[in-house]
Structures are given as C-alpha cells and as structure tokens.
Structure 1
Amino acid sequence: MTSTPISVVLCARNEASRIEQSIRAIKACEPAELIVVDGGSTDETVAIAEGLGVRVIRSGGKGLAPDRQLGADHATHDLIAFIDADHRPAPDALDSLKRDMDEFGLDVVQAAVGIEDNGFWNRAEHDAMAVFQHTPGPRALMIGVAPTLYRKEVLQAVRFDEVNKEQSDDADLFKRIVDTGKYTFGVGRTIVPQFHHPDRKDYLNKFRWYGRRDAEFIRTHPDRAHSMWFHLLVRYPLWRPIKAVFQGKPRAAVYFWVCGGTRLSVVISKTIQSVFLRTSRPTPEPGDA
C-alpha cells in the first residue's frame, strides 16, 4: 500500500478498450481505495471494472466535471488522485506524486504526461507536453485535472461545476482555486504515460471539444476572458511554437498551431453565434408580460 493512504478516482465513459489496463496499473500502485465513476457507458466499461473487483458509481451521464466531483465526494481519504482510463501509472507513481506535493509545498500536484509513441500526432503531443508542461514547480494559472493528486479539502472548498455540462473541468476549477487565494498547485517530477488515439481525425475532434470548453469558459467567466483570448491568440500560435523550435521539437510547433487554430475557430464561431442570438431576440413591446 502507498506510504500515505490515497483514494484514486477514475472517471470513464465507453472506455471498454482501455479501462482494464488502467485499473491494473492503478492497482499495482496499491492505493487505499479505487473508485470508478461511470458516466453512462453503453459498452462493457462497467462490467470490466466490476469484474476486476472495483467499486463503480453510476453518475447517469451528468458530465465529466460533475463525475469528478461525485468521485471526490465518495472518496474516504484525505488525498485524492484523479487517474483517467488512458493513463498507465507506474507502481510508484502515487508515492512519487506525494513526494512531489511535499517537496514543492503544494495542495494540488499534477504528474507530467508522457504520450506513448504511436504515430506522428502522438509524438507531436508528447513533444508539446515536454515544451510547456514538464518543468516541475508551482504554477500561477492552471494545471491539468488528471493525472493529479489533491488534498481533499481543496475539492470540498472549491467544487467542480456540477451543473454546466459544457464547462471545462480544468480551466474552470483552477480559476476558482486561484480566486480563493488559499491553495497552491503545480507540476511534479512524476511522469505518467498516457495512451491517445493516433488518428488525426481523433485529435481534431479533441481540439474541437477543447474549443467548446474554451468558449464556455469565456461565457461563464467574462472577467478572465482576456486571459483565454491571450492563450489562443498568442501562446498557441506564437510563443509555444517558437519555444518548441528553439528546443528542437518542430513536431510540437505543428501540434500547437493545429490545436490552437482549431480551438480558436470554434471559440470565434461560438462567440458569433452568441452575439447573433442576443441581437436577434425580439424586443418586448411595452405592456408585454
């Protein structure tokens, strides 16, 4: 068992092809508790998890952010790790994350993600992660929600958005963590392998999904809209690609351009739609109830 009791929460939906490998990897870490939150799977995800002796909570398909909060609420230990179905943590990963948390004095610590080499886009994403994510230490704005270790009090004080299914589970949560001024977060030295689909179409669908969440973040948090626009207009097309080229990782530059451009196009489209809907609504006549 891990040196400090840790609850692991794995949120999944239609992950029958990957969840067994993830559960076996997590079990090798010997957590004090493993909970799978199923988000309405129509495949064998639940049967596989239960067949491996894992406690499964069915959320009814409320969305990823509510599912994460549901798992955190059911966790019984003071430390909670979110591990996803595409992660394959090494047996010492949880203990390593706890050491990272202690070393940097953090309340939330994310593992660096190592994308497994399986085609151009996997290699490009792996290089991209190395460019902007693999520097250990505290962060000022946000980190990823998983694979990440949390002090439970953080997820009790600052909860995931449990209503808005379109809300980003990471940008929204860490925006509100920053607003408290109480908790620190960052990236540790631990690296957790991650398995993504190698097909370009799958990546484009993922980037569009990010874009929809970006647009919802701007709508929900207008006070931070400038930060998101800077992210999409400067960091992705300029700063990160330049940094990638100087580090000898041209594939990462391609990843940033395609990911950022796709997300930006979705955000612009959603913004135009929102403006059009507001301006096209009929003005109520005097006396209308």
Structure 2
Amino acid sequence: MISVVIPAYNEEKRIKRSLEALSHQTIPRDEYEIIVVDGGSHDKTYDIAEDYADMVFVQESERVAGARNDGFLRARSNLVATTDADSIVAPDWVEHAVRSLSDPRVVLSFGPVTPIEKNDINKRYALLFNGLIKFGAHSKLYYYTLGCNTAFRKDALLKAGMYRIMDAGDDLEIAVRMRKMGKVKFAPDMKVGFDFRRYHEFGFWNTLYEWYYIVLQGGISDKYSYTRREYHDDVIMQEK
C-alpha cells in the first residue's frame, strides 16, 4: 500500500523506538514497506535497522534530501511517505497517510507534530510549529511540510523532481513544486512525535537563525550543517 522512507545517521539511541512504532500500526505489517537509508553511520544504526526494515542500504546521494530521494527510487509502492529516525509516529499514522492520499487529485499530504517528551518547553515548541503548519495550510500562502511527516503520490513526486539537495528548507521547497502536480492536503490525523533535541542543545533562536541563514544562502551552507551534526544527550535540557 505504501513505502515509508527513513534517513538515518548515527541514530542507534533512537532509531529502535522509531522503527518499533512503525512496526506496530493499525494496519497489517505486510501492507506497508519500511526503508531505512543509512548515511554512513559509524555506530549500530544500520544493524538495528536490519531487525525491523524491509530494506536497508547506504545512501548514494548527498544530504538528508538525497537520502530520502534514494529511498523513494527503491520504493515498491506508488504511495511513499517519509519520517525521521528520531521521530515516533502515532499507531495509526500509516493508515492515515494512506487515507490522506485516497483522492487521486492529492499528490502530497502532511500532518502536525507532537512532542515526544511532554515537558512545558516542548509543548510550547510544538504549539509554535503547529501554528505555522496550520496557518500555512489554511491560508495556502505556503505549506510547512516537515520531512518527519509527509506522504506523496510517487509518480507525481518523481515528475516534480523529488527533493532538492539542500541543507535546510528542502521540506518546504518540495511543496512549491508539488502544488503544480496536484492538490496538497493538510491531514490533522497524521501525527508524529517530534524530538526537539536540536533546539535544546543549540538554542531555539540560534537554531532558527541557522535555518534562515542556510535558506537565504540558497539552501546550501558550509557554515552550518544539520546532516552530519553530532548531538550530545548529556547536555540536552530536560525541563520538567
């Protein structure tokens, strides 16, 4: 029914929980495909992924966007979705992803995020993210299609050229081209737990600054990189 593509790089501490959530969905496991595209990890990410995924391979293209594209090209289904190795999808996420594309006119669907660790600061972050997502969807001024929670009709995605190889902004830029292929739909029932560790470790405003800096540079930057960024769990703030 659908192929789910997950890019991963040095995620041995988190990818198991992500893949376990994907493996226990409201639809039978044999009705969807899990593809993990490893970015050349030097930990146990690849080995863990092999225990859960239908396909695991080392990416051939550059950056996270390239990893997603590599997975799409190998997907066996005409419906494809993508999430992140540190995200946790809801138990009915795959079902709602498929349902959101039931209208053949819809070529891209996307949903909101919820915080994995439900402390006050994460709830505020999620409120901000979802506010931006919903405002864009209802106003149709833009579509905030986060890479952790997006589904596509594969033939339209290939025709549009898939993700642009960028350090940041690729998950918003793709929606601009997909709008020319058909309808873009906000699916509120497609819920994904989001890991806010980047914002904790590097600071919320600093992370936003980095993101906008990269986007203003045309999406490519030697100064900042999210693709190969290392995180240190012992310094991540855990606000109760």
State the shift of 1:23 in Å.
0.6
State the shift of 1:74 in Å.
0.5
Give the aligned residue type for 2:153: R
- Distance, in Å, in 2 between the alignment partners of 1:105 and 1:54 is 29
Give the CA RMSD over aligned residues. 2.8
- Distance, in Å, in 2 between the alignment partners of 1:214 and 1:22 is 28
State the shift of 1:78 in Å.
0.7
- Compared CA separation, residues 97 and 17, structure 1 to 2 (3 A): same
Q: Secondary structure at the match of 2:43?
A: coil
Match of 1:159 in 2: 161
- Distance, in Å, in 2 between the alignment partners of 1:160 and 1:104 is 19
Match of 2:126 in 1: 126
Q: Normalization by structure 1: what TM-score? A: 0.64
- Distance, in Å, in 2 between the alignment partners of 1:53 and 1:110 is 22
Tell me, yes or no, if structure 1 residue 175 matches structure 2 residue 171: no
Equivalent residue for 1:149, pick from 128, 131, 151 = 151
State the shift of 1:39 in Å.
1.4
Unaligned runs of 5+ in 2: 221-240
- Distance, in Å, in 1 between the alignment partners of 2:209 and 2:142 is 22
Q: What is the correspondence of 1:44-55 to structure 2 with a 5 Å cutoff?
A: 44-52=44-52, 54-55=54-55
Match of 2:5 in 1: 9
Identity %: 23
Look at both structures and tell me which one has the larger radius of gyration over its CA atoms.
1
State the shift of 1:141 in Å.
2.5
- Distance, in Å, in 2 between the alignment partners of 1:171 and 1:92 is 24
Q: Secondary structure at the match of 2:12?
A: coil
Q: Secondary structure at the match of 1:189?
A: coil
Provide the aligned length of Structure 1 versus Structure 2.
212
Q: Normalization by structure 2: what TM-score? A: 0.76
Question: Which one scores higher on RCO, CA 8 angstroms, separation ≥ 6?
Answer: 2
- Distance, in Å, in 1 between the alignment partners of 2:154 and 2:23 is 21
Q: Secondary structure at the match of 1:56?
A: strand
Unaligned runs of 5+ in 1: 220-289
Match of 1:35 in 2: 35
Match of 1:237 in 2: none
